[in-house]
Amino acid sequence: MTPAGISQSDLKLALKAFGDAIGADNVFASEADQLSYSDHFSPDESRHMPSAAVAPATAEEVRAIVRLANKYKIPLWPISRGKNFGYGGAAPVLKGSVVLDLTRMKKIEVDVESGTVLVEPGVGFFDLYDYLRANDIPLWLSVPGNAWGSVAGNALDRGVGYTPYGDHASRICGLEVVLPDGDIVRTGMGAMAGAPTWQLYKPGFGPSWDTMFCQSNFGIVTKLGMWLMHEPESVLGYDFEFDKIDDLGWAIDTLMPLRRDGIIQQSPSFGNWLRSAAVMTTRSQWTDDPGPLKESVISAIRKKFNIGWWSVQVRLYGPLDVTEATLKVLNNAFNGKPVMAMKPARWVKGDAPEGSPFSGVPITFPLANANWYGGRGGHTGYSPVLPTRGDLAMDQFRRTYALYQKYGFDYHASFAMGERSLTNVNQLLFDRDDADMMQRLDKFFRELVVDAKAKGYGEYRTHIEYMDVVAETYDFNDHALRRLNERVKDALDPNGVIAPGKSGIWPANRRGERS
């Protein structure tokens, strides 16, 4: 297998040259290797199968590979750890690309006093967590729901976590990037050799480029600076349960001003009952009926886990004097409103470790939900961004819920509150060995995108299969943003060697591949 337009002999020459540059034992080109770097949630892994993978260990080795890729016109697909399974894992958009696996790049540099870290792409959340604990560093991570992935990769893909530092891309401060021609650049203050402020001041002098390398294919990030939170004196809050479907609307409107004004600094995320059930149990434990879950089953799930139709966890961070005062504000906001339950949460320095993702503890068990339907399960995300308004959230819920019913999927969603926006993250769970289900899933996803677009809502992130589908919805002035992206792409990457098709951005020599 080769990328379209590349001969088998050229690919072979390129792989040989890659091996000469970084060691032949870091070039993986067997059939087993091709499979291992494919999308293992896909019903047809051949659709996005790479022809090989190469694993450099340093930025200099990355530069060498990139120069050779230009020489042989080989498209590379950079991954940090390749664990973003719901969005395609390690697999490239363009079949036959060579995966540039940066897993072996694992350097960590922490500035404890400033609360910053400089990580290479192979550093996972568990790696960084272990490093902080081993060195007794009082800094907390912000971890995503499934924390086996890369700290840098997650931030560059705009992943989110649960602490006040949960908007990971916004905490990036300074990058080192290998450009598509093999040049290497440091952004922000890192543009000055030896500057001690690289991880401290984001803009630098003149234009700032950090966000240009998020969800893009304009370069390969080999180092990423990020701010970390100093351990606070306390974490207080509530786990709220809401009994009725319609409670979602007023509950969002209640929290929204507190979130907008920074009273609540993390992102509360409303989720429905399936979030518990899909992790803790499998569907067959509840029902043998393949149709949409009946009200009686939903009631049984809620009873078993003692949860509402919706749940949300709110946490406040800081000195105890501050969090206790803020907790009163939160209490007042819900005073007199029909909350089903408010379970207090309280951690104060000196207590046993808080021990949860709210204090940056990495976890992987949430992805046990991939086993909900049994078989070899999987999931993908559908995540449109809405204004933070309860009525619009309810409308979104009703339309989306109806589509889940239409296509025969169990509703699994959350509404995560940003400072000015609401991201409706839907986990579409499936059994990839159920061919009928996988066909329905594809139609379901495409209709969801169309449904959101009709309201002017776009996805913030998507699976490799749907990058063109989502990019197509960003259509102001006949897709002016895509034209801009591709002008930049062509200027930086005339041979189209870095991640063709990422986020719907295709280089000139492969624009015909757009789906």
Partner 1 sequence: MKGRWIVERAMLGIASSALVFAGGAAMAQNKTAPAGTAVTDAFSGAMQDRSARSPDAALFVEKCAMCHRQLGMGTIILARRMDPAVAMLEKREDLTIDFVTQAARTGIGNMPRIQRGEVSDAQMKKIAHYLAKGNK
Report if residue 414 touches partner 1, rule: CB under 8 A. Answer: yes
> Is 404 marked active-site?
no
Question: What's the full length of the chain, in residues?
Answer: 515
Answer positive or negative: Cα dihedral of 417, 421, 424, 425. Answer: negative
The residue among 85 and 317 lying less far from partner 1, judged by its C-beta, is: 85
Structure token digits, residue 140: 């907390």
CB of 167 to partner 1, least distance (A): 13
CB of 245 to partner 1, least distance (A): 17
Report if residue 264 touches partner 1, rule: CB under 8 A. Answer: no
The residue among 375 and 387 lying less far from partner 1, judged by its C-beta, is: 375
For 98, half-sphere exposure in the C-beta direction (CA atoms, 13 angstrom radius) is 34
Q: Which of 72, 87, 358, 404 binds partner 1 (CB under 8 A)?
A: 358
Stretch that binds partner 1, among 8-16, 180-188, 268-276, 330-338 (CB under 8 A): 268-276
Report if residue 433 touches partner 1, rule: CB under 8 A. Answer: no
Report if residue 51 touches partner 1, rule: CB under 8 A. Answer: no
Report if residue 214 touches partner 1, rule: CB under 8 A. Answer: no
CB of 114 to partner 1, least distance (A): 25
Mask 435-474, x = binds partner 1 (CB under 8 A)? ----------------------------------------
Spatial distance between the Cα atoms of 362 and 356, rounded to a whole number of angstroms: 8
Report if residue 66 touches partner 1, rule: CB under 8 A. Answer: no
CB of 356 to partner 1, least distance (A): 3
Mask 140-179, x = binds partner 1 (CB under 8 A)? -----xxxx-----------x-x-----------------
CB of 102 to partner 1, least distance (A): 8
* Ranges within 112-131 binding partner 1 (CB under 8 A): 124, 126-127, 129-130
CB 498 within 8 A of CB 220: yes
Listed in sequence order, the residues at least 6 apart from 335 whose beta carbon sits closer than 8 Å to its beta carbon are: none
> Is 131 marked active-site?
no
Spatial distance between the Cα atoms of 426 and 444, rounded to a whole number of angstroms: 12
Q: Which of 47, 376, 389, 453 binds partner 1 (CB under 8 A)?
A: 376
Report if residue 33 touches partner 1, rule: CB under 8 A. Answer: yes
* Ranges within 226-245 binding partner 1 (CB under 8 A): 239
What type of residue is 49? M
Q: Which of 8, 135, 208, 285 binds partner 1 (CB under 8 A)?
A: 285
Report if residue 419 touches partner 1, rule: CB under 8 A. Answer: no
* Ranges within 73-102 binding partner 1 (CB under 8 A): 81-82, 85, 89-90, 99, 101
Structure token digits, residue 158: 């705009």
DSSP percent split of the chain into helix, strand, coil, nearest 5: 40, 20, 40
Report if residue 307 touches partner 1, rule: CB under 8 A. Answer: yes
Report if residue 47 touches partner 1, rule: CB under 8 A. Answer: no
Report if residue 326 touches partner 1, rule: CB under 8 A. Answer: no
The residue among 263 and 368 lying less far from partner 1, judged by its C-beta, is: 368
> Is 165 marked active-site?
no
# chain residues binding partner 1, by CB under 8 A:
81
In Å, what is the CA distance from 176 to each residue of 62, 64, 152, 169, 187? 12, 16, 11, 15, 7
CB of 50 to partner 1, least distance (A): 11
Spatial distance between the Cα atoms of 269 and 425, rounded to a whole number of angstroms: 9
CB 248 within 8 A of CB 390: yes
Structure token digits, residue 172: 């990036």
Task: Annotate 315-349 with b (16+ C-beta within 10 A) or e (fewer).
Answer: bbbbeeeebeebbeebeeebeeeebbeeeebebee
Q: How many CB atoms lie within 10 A of CB 74?
A: 28
Spatial distance between the Cα atoms of 310 and 393, rounded to a whole number of angstroms: 13
Question: Is 435 buried (19+), middle (13-18) or exposed (0-12) by CB count in 10 A?
Answer: exposed
Structure token digits, residue 65: 């590979």
Structure token digits, residue 332: 């007042």
CB of 13 to partner 1, least distance (A): 22
Query: Catalytic site residues?
Result: 87, 460-461
